[in-house]
Each structure stands twice: as structure tokens, then as C-alpha cells.
Amino acid sequence: MCIRDSKLTAKDFATSQEVRWCPGCGDYAILKSVQKALADVGADPANTAFVSGIGCAARFPYYVETYGFHTIHGRAPAIATGLKLANPELDVWVVTGDGDSLSIGGNHLMHALRRNVGLKILLFNNEIYGLTKGQYSPTSRIGTKSPSSPKGSVDTPVSPGQVALGCGAHFFARGVDTDKVGMSDVLQQAHAFVGTSFVEIFQNCIVYNEDVFANFTERKTAADTQLHVKHGEPMLFGKDRDKGIHFNPETWALEVIDAAESPDDVLVHDEGNAIVARLLIDLHLPVAMGVIYRQPANSFEHAFYAHHPSRMKRTKRVREFIKGPSSWTVE
């Protein structure tokens, strides 16, 4: 990880490219949040790379003034893994969508998570395939009507958070495109984590799945429908922070209680508790936001080079390798 001495602003991470998403798309807000986060952590554009697959979110590398790779469908985690191994000091971000990462790219995502590669993976979840005109995606809810499911989807949706923890992820967080403050905090913590930081971002697709998250993103009711968790702090929410989350040991479920009446029964957030993290991920209302799970561990690239003779130093040039005994020609 490389940090600059001189302070940059969010504008320094904007490119000259015209940002081309549908008017009102949540990706605009996410882009601004990422550019601001990069400036806030003092990221070095010359030592930062964004890797994407295919989809609306995949245009991201064109709009961030860093190195960028617009790769192939679902393969961004694999390519990003190679990039991180080739240059472990590089800050590598992966931008993907729910279809790109959880359908054709599910296998590559799984291995990046279980290996704990030093990547920051941002999954834009809009519960639809936007680029290909609105087909239902792996995260679409049962009953979602689309060109590929005109009578409503019958598939059980995939939970990005449950997939992450099931694959052995060490960091899982959530944000929403409309919450600039919350997004900034999550992105900075994801950047600081050693290993794979996996962030699910609820993103509104204004054309094909508008307001699918309205039940917890409406400004007037967000305080009562979003639970922003912080390590070591009680799980309180509501306009007056008078509601709390309680763990019921009899049902092994999370419940909403009156925090004023039973303050001692309010659960305190522990980022290292995987069981509670799973319960938080499945909590429908309020929806848990922030860093839900974090368990520090050695990263894949550090473990790899600890046993590699090069010790994170390049031993050969590509031309020398090609001419050496470890390559062959197929005729």
C-alpha cells in the first residue's frame, strides 16, 4: 500500500472522460464517494489500479485517474489477483456487479475471498442486469418481472454477504449509494484492511429496477430502516436512537426492542463474531450497514512470497523467461 506525502483532492481522481451512465443512476454517487475516499486516504494514483469485468459498473476504470483494466465477464478477481501478486505494493480495487460477480464470475470471486488476496472488491448490487436491458440477476427477489422472467422470477436470490462469509471472507461491509457519509467511512476501512475487503453497495438502477431498495433508503424513514453498526458500540437505530437490536438465545435470532426500556439487552457490535454477522446480513428491517464482519489474517500475497525464493522481488525479465528452459513452443 502506497500513500502520497502531498494531499490530493477528489477532483484529482477524476478523468477527462465523459461519465456515461443513465441520468439518475446510483453509480454517479458511488464514483464520487470512491474519488473522495481515495483523496482522504492519501492514495497515490501512480500506485493504484481499478479492475472491472463487464456490466454498467465496469465502466468505472475509465472515470478514475489511476491505472485501470476493463477486463472480461466475471474474471476481474482473477486478473486482479495476478496484478496483486506481480506487484504486491499496488493498491488494487475490483469493481463488479451482482451479475458479473455472482453468476459467471462466482468461481473467481470465491477463490479471491477464500485466499484473502489484498484486493478491495466493490460489488454494486442493483438486483438486475442493467447493461443487457433488465434481465433478472442472481440477487433478484422471487417474483421479479423482467424480459427473462415475464411471469416473475422463481429463483431464490443469492445473498452476497452470506456467500462472502461462506467462502471464508475476512472483511464484509455494506453501504448504499445515497449515503455519502456512510460510504466514505466504509471505503476508508476497506482500504485499510490487509487482505480481501468485500463491500456490497446497494445501487439504484433507475431504468430497469427503480426504487427496489426504497423500503430502507427513503430519506424520511432511513433512520428507522437502517442499522449502522460500529465495533464496540450498541446496535441502536431510529430517529431518536430509541430502538435496539437484541439477540434472543432461545430462537437464535435478532429482534428489535425498545432500547429505552431495556438498554442492557441491546447487543453490542463485535466485528469478529461470525455468527452475529450472518444474522445481521439476513436482517430485513432494519438493514445492517457499515463493517459487519472483520477478522484480521495474513494476506495471500504475503503468505505466498514468504515461501517464494524471490521474496517479493522480480527475479527475471519476461524476455529472459521466454528464452529460458521453463517455456516451450507449440507448432
pLDDT digits (tens, 9 = 90+) for 66-100: 999 999 999 999 999 999 999 999 999 999 999 89
- Looking at the DSSP bridge assignments, the partners of residue 48 are 91
* Per-residue pLDDT band at 120 (split at 50, 70, 90): very high
Q: Is the pLDDT of residue 312 over 80?
A: no
State residue 35's pLDDT score.
96
Q: Domain boundaries in the chain?
A: 10-212+298-303
- Looking at the DSSP bridge assignments, the partners of residue 33 are none
Q: Is the pLDDT of residue 326 over 60?
A: yes
Mean pLDDT in the chain? Answer: 91
Residue 73 and residue 105 in contact, taking contact as beta carbons nearer than 8 Å: yes
CA distance 197 to 118: 8
State residue 4's pLDDT score.
54
State residue 14's pLDDT score.
95
* Per-residue pLDDT band at 310 (split at 50, 70, 90): low
236-237, strands of its sheet edge to edge:
236-237, 243-248, 253-258
* Per-residue pLDDT band at 215 (split at 50, 70, 90): very high
For the chain, what percent of residues have pLDDT higher than 90? 78
In terms of DSSP bridges, do strands 171-176 and 287-294 run parallel, antiparallel, or are they unpaired? antiparallel
* Per-residue pLDDT band at 328 (split at 50, 70, 90): low
pLDDT digits (tens, 9 = 90+) for 23-65: 999 999 999 999 999 999 999 999 999 999 999 999 999 999 9
Question: Cα angle at 184 between 183 and 189, to 5 degrees?
Answer: 100
User: pTM score, two decimals?
Assistant: 0.91
Q: Is the pLDDT of residue 248 over 70?
A: yes
Question: Cα angle at 289 between 105 and 97, to 5 degrees?
Answer: 20
Q: Is the pLDDT of residue 303 over 80?
A: yes
3-state secondary structure the chain: CCECCCCCCHHHHECCCCCCCCCCCCHHHHHHHHHHHHHHCCECHHHEEEEECCCHHHHHHHHECCEEEECCCCCHHHHHHHHHHHCCCCEEEEEEEHHHHHHHCHHHHHHHHHHCCCEEEEEEECCCECCCCCECCCCCCCCCCECCECCCCCCCCCCHHHHHHHCCCCEEEEEECCCHHHHHHHHHHHHHCCCCEEEEEECCCCCCCCCCCHHHHCCCCHHHHEEEECCCCECEECCCCCEEEEEECCCCEEEEEECCCCHHHCCECCCCCHHHHHHHHCCCCCEEEEEEEECCCCCHHHHHHHCCCCCCCCCCCHHHHHHCCCCCCCC
* Per-residue pLDDT band at 147 (split at 50, 70, 90): confident
Q: C-alpha cell of 173?
A: 461491509
Q: How many residues does the chain have?
A: 331
Task: State the average pLDDT over residues 279-299.
Answer: 97
CA distance 189 to 202: 18
State residue 314's pLDDT score.
60
State residue 315's pLDDT score.
58
Residue 80, judged by CB atoms within 10 A of its CB (0-12, 13-18, 19+), counts as buried
CA distance 209 to 80: 29
State residue 149's pLDDT score.
86
* Per-residue pLDDT band at 151 (split at 50, 70, 90): confident
Higher pLDDT, 279 or 127: 279
Which of 3.40.50.1110, 3.40.50.460, 3.40.50.970, 3.40.50.720 would CATH assign to domain 10-212+298-303? 3.40.50.970
Higher pLDDT, 140 or 200: 200
Q: Is the pLDDT of residue 196 over 80?
A: yes
Q: Within a 10 A sphere around the Cβ of 55, how many other Cβ atoms?
A: 25
For the chain, what percent of residues have pLDDT higher than 70? 93
91-97, strands of its sheet edge to edge:
67-70, 48-52, 91-97, 119-125, 197-202, 171-176, 287-294, 226-229
In terms of DSSP bridges, do strands 197-202 and 67-70 run parallel, antiparallel, or are they unpaired? unpaired
Residue 131 and residue 56 in contact, taking contact as beta carbons nearer than 8 Å: yes
pLDDT digits (tens, 9 = 90+) for 261-273: 999 999 999 999 9
State residue 313's pLDDT score.
64
pLDDT digits (tens, 9 = 90+) for 178-192: 999 999 999 999 999
